[in-house]
Amino acid sequence: MNVRSQISMVFHLDKCIGCHTCSIACKNIWTDRKGTEYMWWNNVETKPGTGYPTAWEDQEQFNGGWEVVDGTLRLRSQSKAKSVANIFHHPNLPTMDDYYHPWTYDYQHLFTAPEGPDQPTARPISMVTGEPCEIESGPNWDDDLGGSPIYAEHDRNLDGLTEEQRQQLFAVERLVFFYFPRICNHCLNPACVAACPSGALYKRGEDGIVLVDQTRCRAWRACIAACPYKKVFFNWSTGKSEKCILCFPRLETGQAPACFHSCVGRIRYLGVLLYDADRIEATASLPAEELVGAQRDMVLDPFDPKVIDAAIANGVHPSVVDAAQRSPVYQFVKVWKIALPPHIEYRTLPMLFYVPPMAPVMANRNDGVTNSSTEELFHDIESARVPMKFLANLFGAGHEGKVRYALRKQKAVRWYRRAVTVGDVDMATAERMLREADCDVAQAEAIYRLTSLCTFDDRFVIPPMHREEALQMLEDPMEHKGSVGFGFTAPPQRGL
């Protein structure tokens, strides 16, 4: 057992209001420099939709992530032969059109325009050519189903849905959608790290944060092609790759990452998970339908004395074990099993998990009449407006079992709380629903509290980062080139 600690995250999608505050917080802190205009380390997508960069989930086009060939795990975009053939031009990289043409405005014109009959306007100016331009795309271009026929209908997660289910999503005035905020998943099996020919990307030994060493990056951009989530970006000004650093300078001083801290819907949770790194390759090689359960099995019980001993023997500080025992992510992922990794079929083993949305239907509109009466308090999850198959494509590698489990438990908790607080649902029915959803009253109360009444301290259990201890995990990334690596490119310079 090779016990490692990993900072990991949960986003509760039913609580996201799509306000983009998280994206702006990140943008203002990290990507306001030259060359980073188009970078959104945090972005919020509307689902169904094609996201940012456009159609990033289409791996036939982008070839990201891992695949199993003859029982062996291998990168789709990169190999020894491909790294030579593709070194000056990678055929699977997104282009500027897949992102968008960054622009600014001619603000000065607002002050210097000559007097005239019209109000002066600030025209958009291309940040690439410096010429006036027409804005044709942006990072949230398909927000709230704007342009649905172009964007939403091309969502890859609609694959396998019947025509009736598709129509259910797109019927005019019966539209349904939810928000999908995305950051780097700081994966356990990061394709970006494995693909880098220069060994510039690395996974920090003590907390699993995936970073790019700016001094080693040689602009090959193999990481961008390999990351199936397209969460590495290329800075055209510095000639280096950049990505989400999970605000490690904030974490090292005990503060939550900026996007977590600023989240208006309080959808974000952060905590430590202990896991068995010896099982990464075997887990990532399993058939798609087993991946979600197998990744969950890799997460170890932080109360188990054997796990604690192995963790401490491996250099994990006792205070980190203590943080793992209080981790909200452990509760959501391992104990309650209601948080699921996105697109685990890419086999990078993401460490950002999502609680799938129930998206309850509160009203519908037919023939111009809005009807908010309903026979049941909440719809049956099988007939939810977001089809189960769609959520399964996003969170279950196409398999519905784990998604259904998460939704049933959430519904039972809501039903139970309704019985407690309003009393129009009888408690015997609520308790039966809890039992059927593999939940009891104590767990329902705990889910309710961490979902609805949580404070900063409940949501963010940040361990002391122990950079001084991390020396024990130092490894040379060049020796581990092509693997998913743990360690640093240079010894840490300071302690706590």
Contact residues toward ligand SF4 (CB under 6 A) are 16-22, 44, 179, 181, 184-187, 190-192, 210, 227, 229, 231-232, 243, 263-265, 267, 348
Give min distance, CB of 143 to ligand SF4, in A: 10
Give min distance, CB of 151 to ligand SF4, in A: 18
Nearer to ligand SF4, 17 or 96 (CB): 17
Give min distance, CB of 140 to ligand SF4, in A: 10
Q: Please identify the residue of the shown chain whose CB is closest to the bound ligand SF4.
A: 265
Nearer to ligand SF4, 36 or 348 (CB): 348
**How far apart are alpha carbons 278 and 281 in whole angstroms?**
8
Nearer to ligand SF4, 264 or 313 (CB): 264
Nearer to ligand SF4, 16 or 407 (CB): 16
Nearer to ligand SF4, 101 or 459 (CB): 459
Q: What are the structure tokens assigned to 345, written together?
A: 């079929």
**How far apart are alpha carbons 297 and 263 in whole angstroms?**
30
Q: What are the structure tokens assigned to 292, written together?
A: 């979600």
**How far apart are alpha carbons 424 and 378 in whole angstroms?**
13
Give min distance, CB of 233 to ligand SF4, in A: 10
Nearer to ligand SF4, 200 or 437 (CB): 200
Using alpha carbons only, how large is the chain's radius of gyration in Å? 23
- Residue of 334, 339, 279 lying closest to 302 (CA atoms): 334
Give min distance, CB of 263 to ligand SF4, in A: 3
DSSP, collapsed to helix, strand or coil, labels residue 215 as coil
Nearer to ligand SF4, 21 or 165 (CB): 21
Nearer to ligand SF4, 356 or 389 (CB): 356
Give min distance, CB of 447 to ligand SF4, in A: 19
Give min distance, CB of 429 to ligand SF4, in A: 32
Nearer to ligand SF4, 251 or 444 (CB): 251
**How far apart are alpha carbons 119 and 113 in whole angstroms?**
9
- Residue of 203, 197, 281 lying closest to 486 (CA atoms): 203
**How far apart are alpha carbons 278 and 272 in whole angstroms?**
18
Give min distance, CB of 115 to ligand SF4, in A: 42
- Residue of 183, 196, 200, 348 lying closest to 270 (CA atoms): 183
**How far apart are alpha carbons 441 and 413 in whole angstroms?**
9
Give the CA-trace dihedral at 39, 41, 47, 51, to 10 degrees: 30
Position 374: which residue type?
A: T
Give min distance, CB of 187 to ligand SF4, in A: 3
Q: What's the Cα-to-Cα distance from 351 to each of 9, 99, 354, rounded to whole Å? A: 6, 25, 10
**How far apart are alpha carbons 285 and 66 in whole angstroms?**
9
**How far apart are alpha carbons 256 and 272 in whole angstroms?**
13
